Amino acid sequence: MLASPKSSSGSRPPRRAGGWTEFQRRYAPYIFISPFFVLFFIFGLFPILFNAYLSFQEWQPGTGLGDMKFVGFRNYTDNLTDPTFWLSLKNTGILAVLSGLPQHLLAIPLAFAVYGGLKKLQNLVTAVYFLPYITSIVAISVIFFTLFSWQYGVINAALNALHNVPLIGGLFPAEKINWLGQKEYVQPSIALVVIWRYTGWNMLLYLSGLQAIPKELYEAASVDGATGWQSFRYITLPLLRPIMFVAVTLSLIGGLQLFEEPFILTNGGGGAGQAGLTTIMYMYRTYASYSDAGVAAAMSWLLFLVIGALTLVNNRLFGRSGMAGKD
Amino acid sequence: MRKLLMVSLALVTAAALPTASAQTKKTITIGVFPDLDSVVKAALPGFYKLYPNVTVKVNSLAYADHHTALTTALSTGKGANDVEAVDFGYIAKFAEGNGLVDIAKAPYNASQYRSQFVAFTYPQAMTQDGRMVAMPTDIGPGAMFYRSDMLKKAGVSATSMNQSWESYIANGKKVVAANPGSFLIPDAGEAAQIILRTGLKSGEGLYFDKTGKVLVGPDNARFVRAFTVAKQIRDAKLDARAGSAFSPDWTTAFQKGNLATEFSGAWLVGHMQNWLAKDFSGKWASQNLPGGTFASWGGSFYSIPQQSNNKTEAWNLIKYLTTNSAQQVLAFKTTGAFPALRSAANDAIFNEGVPYLGGQKARVQWRQAALKIQPLDVNRLDPIAEQIVNDSLATVLDGSKDVNTALTEAGRLIARRAR
């Protein structure tokens, strides 16, 4: 817009131009930032509020929105008295520990090794470990089915071959193991896939944490005659604490929301003895197969409470001190 | 004079009508999934001859996506097609509420065609209060497919094998012994599913009776027998523990030629000859299910959503797809979909031999089987009950629970959800 000489020299700009700049100054930022809020309200906030509303209704999707019936807290009490819900929660907890703990126990030393010893190959090694994290779950499932298959699987073929090796043969089973069809093997099999998938991600987190530690500290330590283990124990571990807190929190939340791996590996059914049925899977089943949207919604809020409580405990236990750097 | 005027007026109106409607050409949409989409596409030229003023747009989505989209459209009241295909497994779910038009009522009056269809199809699409939400188009009459070469090696005949479940197991042991590395059946649970679906009393559903009472329990002979027979098969190490059909283990067992028998709908032959067991053409054959039982494996239906603004045209299309004999034969030729319309199954093509089955005239057998399948009453809670019963069957098969305990617990869990 061209401003007239009069207005540019005058003490007060003409009203129209002033209105425009006023508008630009006061409201334009809101318009520029609005796409985020519009999208957030539609795809973020609305589903959450709707889900909260739904958790107090009895509703079969497919009957139309008008057919909702208010049932108070019945959906919540139904879940809390449902043995399958508790079983799914137990499975989720076991799987979260079984798959979460090894991820970190593997990722920290791996990150340390990559950071310290494989400087030149750092990018390549990181990429290789990170690959499972970005691989499509469908591709993963095809591969792991081929590995785990009872009759035709590679793992069983390998174990059988090892069984026939003299001397060490006794250590390996003679019978084929039904990895996904026998109760006691379902959870370890799922955990293995989860560990394989997310260790690289955690390694990357720890690697970035390691890179943030000032080199001077290690130099000072070596001047003082510290061994490699001592540097790791007294410098690396304490300074890695904030990133450990982040990584553990992410694993905790992710682990309690485990869905894809158990769902695909057990064909959506939960596997033998329902040992692979996680709470999110049960929630999905309640909604999709049972058409019980209200109960499924209530289940999601119950799981939210569990995740919230455990995250709080995690925060109290080592988050706060780690974040505040009290060490 | 007045009469003449009336007649001429009627004639003028009649003459004017086609031109009037020609100007208002209507486009309707149909939502389908593969392979039903090829059936509809093949049917359209014939349909256009009868209804030149209607254009049909085919919206095809993958099987699960189609049903998810339909669920969304019905729950929000927006976005449904004028005609929607519904697979058997989803009928009970969509029959709830009022999302689909009751075609038993005028102007559709679907009940008038009932006698023309295979008897068990109509009740599948009817609700407990007598509404009819969809029209049947194809069915899956069940058969026992068997490897004739494997049975021959064991000196077992298919007819002696399928006499009863006991003879199936006894002869099955011989077959597996004579063909090392083979399995009698992909999964022991399949036998239980067939037994559960047959021998029902009139008015009895799979898991619930007419009044909604739970039937699952150790006092129900049907469930006890189903679980017991499945457990016998598992204990005799006859099954490949492949889980459900189309699972990776199931597919591999077929492709490697390690299966001696499989129970399925007639449509399985299409899968076998195209990809599942291509190398074993002429070695597979068909026989009735064991113990003189007859069961159905799926089937498809067409429905009209209440949201449709073109219900008359939609019904015309459905009527053409389902009640037109030539069209149903064409559908069979296109994808092998077995017709729900009885007159279609009397076409000459059904007397021809099936090349993949070594020229066996299996279609005659399937046609007769279809007529003997009993209707099953569907209940809204069937999916829940089915899941719970399957889970409890699994605990019996893996030996962690006995039949009585498993059934008692399953009955209790189902009753908890039935309210």
Angstroms from A311 CA to nearest CA on chain B: 32
pLDDT above 90: percentage of residues in chain B: 72
Angstroms from B390 CA to nearest CA on chain A: 9
- Whether B94 and A62 lie within 8 Å, measured CB to CB: yes
Angstroms from A74 CA to nearest CA on chain B: 12
pLDDT of residue A16: 55
Q: Is the pLDDT of residue A117 over 80?
A: no
Q: Which among B96, B395, B416 is the nearest to A60, CB-wise?
A: B96
Angstroms from B160 CA to nearest CA on chain A: 29
- Whether B74 and A62 lie within 8 Å, measured CB to CB: yes
The pairing of strands B54-60 and B26-32 is parallel
Q: How many CB pairs under 8 A join A and B?
A: 90
CA dist B330 and B310 (Å) reads 26
What residue of A is the nearest CA neighbor of B68?
Answer: A288
- Quickly count: other Cβ atoms within 10 Å of residue B278's Cβ: 12
Return the amino acid letter for B388. I
pLDDT of residue A320: 60
Q: Give the mean model confidence (pLDDT) for residues B220-227.
A: 96
- Whether B76 and A84 lie within 8 Å, measured CB to CB: no
Paired strand residues for B185 = B239
Q: What is the 3-state secondary structure (H, E, C) of A299-313?
A: HHHHHHHHHHHHHHH
CA dist A144 and A278 (Å) reads 19
* Strand boundaries in B49-118, DSSP class E: 54-60, 83-87
Q: Give the mean model confidence (pLDDT) for residues B345-358.
A: 93
> Which 8-state DSSP code applies to residue B60?
E
CA dist A249 and B115 (Å) reads 64
- B122 in Cβ contact with B143 (< 8 Å): no
- B245 in Cβ contact with B108 (< 8 Å): no
Angstroms from B101 CA to nearest CA on chain A: 12
- A149 in Cβ contact with A267 (< 8 Å): no
Angstroms from B52 CA to nearest CA on chain A: 33
CA dist B28 and B213 (Å) reads 42
- Whether A62 and B75 lie within 8 Å, measured CB to CB: yes
Which residues fall within 8 angstroms of residue B192, CB to CB, at 6 or more apart? B226, B227, B229, B230, B393
Q: Is the pLDDT of residue A3 over 50?
A: no
Strand, coil or helix: B264: strand
CA dist B229 and B226 (Å) reads 5
pLDDT of residue A290: 87
Q: With contacts defined as CB-CB under 8 Å, which chain B residues touch A183?
A: 398, 400
What residue of A is the nearest CA neighbor of B396?
Answer: A273
Q: Is the pLDDT of residue B33 over 90?
A: yes
Q: With contacts defined as CB-CB under 8 Å, which chain B residues touch A146?
A: 248
- Whether B394 and A273 lie within 8 Å, measured CB to CB: yes
A80-99 tens-digit pLDDT: 999 999 999 999 999 999 99
Q: Is the pLDDT of residue A203 over 80?
A: yes
Tokens of B221: 């002979």
Q: Which among A62, A64, A273 is the nearest to B398, CB-wise?
A: A273
CA dist B340 and B332 (Å) reads 10
pLDDT of residue A321: 55
CA dist B107 and B104 (Å) reads 9
CA dist A321 and A303 (Å) reads 27
- A247 in Cβ contact with A110 (< 8 Å): no
Angstroms from B15 CA to nearest CA on chain A: 43
Angstroms from A292 CA to nearest CA on chain B: 10
CA dist B302 and B110 (Å) reads 12
Stronger pLDDT, B97 or A36, i.e. the higher one: A36
What residue of B is the nearest CA neighbor of A267?
Answer: B247
CA dist A274 and A272 (Å) reads 5
Stated pTM of the model: 0.84
Mutation site, B398, B414, B419, interface A, largest A CB count within 10 A: B398
pLDDT of residue A6: 45
Closest CA to B145 of B276, B236, B244: B276
- Whether A149 and B93 lie within 8 Å, measured CB to CB: no
- Whether A63 and B98 lie within 8 Å, measured CB to CB: yes
- Whether A291 and B244 lie within 8 Å, measured CB to CB: no
B233-256 tens-digit pLDDT: 999 999 999 888 888 889 999 999
pLDDT of residue A165: 85
Paired strand residues for B360 = B354
A125-162 tens-digit pLDDT: 888 888 999 988 888 888 898 899 888 889 999 998 89
Most confident stretch, A225-229, B343-347, B377-381: B343-347
Q: Is the pLDDT of residue B20 over 50?
A: no
B211-220 tens-digit pLDDT: 889 999 999 9
pLDDT of residue A11: 54
CA dist A152 and B259 (Å) reads 14
Q: Is the pLDDT of residue B125 over 50?
A: yes
Tell me the CA distances in angstroms from A95 to A268, A279, B225, one per residue in order: 16, 11, 36
B67-92 tens-digit pLDDT: 999 999 998 889 999 999 999 888 88
pLDDT of residue B82: 97
Count Cβ atoms within 10 A of the Cβ of residue A216 and give its class: 0-12 exposed, 13-18 middle, 19 or more buried: exposed
Q: With contacts defined as CB-CB under 8 Å, which chain B residues touch A290?
A: 383-384, 387, 417
Q: Is the pLDDT of residue A166 over 60?
A: yes
Most confident stretch, A20-34, A223-237, A263-277, B49-63: B49-63
Q: With contacts defined as CB-CB under 8 Å, which chain A residues touch B184?
A: none
Angstroms from A149 CA to nearest CA on chain B: 7
CA dist A23 and A16 (Å) reads 10
Q: With contacts defined as CB-CB under 8 Å, which chain B residues touch A64?
A: 74-77, 97-99
Q: Which among B71, B75, B249 is the nearest to A149, CB-wise?
A: B249
pLDDT of residue A319: 62
Q: Give the mean model confidence (pLDDT) for residues B94-100.
A: 83
Q: With contacts defined as CB-CB under 8 Å, which chain A residues touch B384?
A: 289-290, 292
Contact residues of A toward B, CB < 8 A: 60-65, 67, 81-84, 142, 145-146, 149-152, 178, 181-183, 267, 269-270, 272-274, 285, 289-292
Q: How confident is the model at residue A15 (pLDDT cuts 50, 70, 90)?
A: low
Q: Is the pLDDT of residue A12 over 70?
A: no
A234-273 tens-digit pLDDT: 988 889 888 999 999 999 999 999 999 999 888 888 888 8
Tell me the CA distances in angstroms from A10 to A4, A7, A20, one per residue in order: 10, 5, 17
B377-418 tens-digit pLDDT: 778 888 889 999 999 999 999 888 999 999 999 999 999 887
A272-276, A305-309, B53-57: which range is least confident on average?
A272-276
Which residues fall within 8 angstroms of residue B36, CB to CB, at 6 or more apart? B85, B137, B138, B300, B335, B337
A169-190 tens-digit pLDDT: 788 888 888 888 888 899 999 9
Q: With contacts defined as CB-CB under 8 Å, which chain A residues touch B249?
A: 149-152
Mutation site, B387, B405, B413, interface A, largest A CB count within 10 A: B387
Q: Is the pLDDT of residue B38 over 90?
A: yes
Closest CA to A95 of A326, A220, A242, A277: A277
pLDDT of residue B380: 80
Q: With contacts defined as CB-CB under 8 Å, which chain B residues touch A67?
A: 97
B149-158 tens-digit pLDDT: 999 999 999 9
Q: With contacts defined as CB-CB under 8 Å, which chain B residues touch A154?
A: none
- A324 in Cβ contact with A81 (< 8 Å): no
Q: Is the pLDDT of residue B257 over 50?
A: yes
Q: What is the mean pLDDT of chain A?
A: 87
pLDDT of residue B97: 75
CA dist B379 and B339 (Å) reads 25
Angstroms from B131 CA to nearest CA on chain A: 15
In Å, how far from its chain's centre is CA B223? 22
A54-76 tens-digit pLDDT: 999 999 887 778 789 999 999 99
- B201 in Cβ contact with B374 (< 8 Å): no
Q: Which among A62, A149, A272 is the nearest to B394, CB-wise?
A: A272
CA dist A300 and A285 (Å) reads 12
CA dist A80 and A78 (Å) reads 6
Q: Which among B93, B240, B387 is the nearest to A62, CB-wise?
A: B93
Q: What is the mean pLDDT of chain B?
A: 90
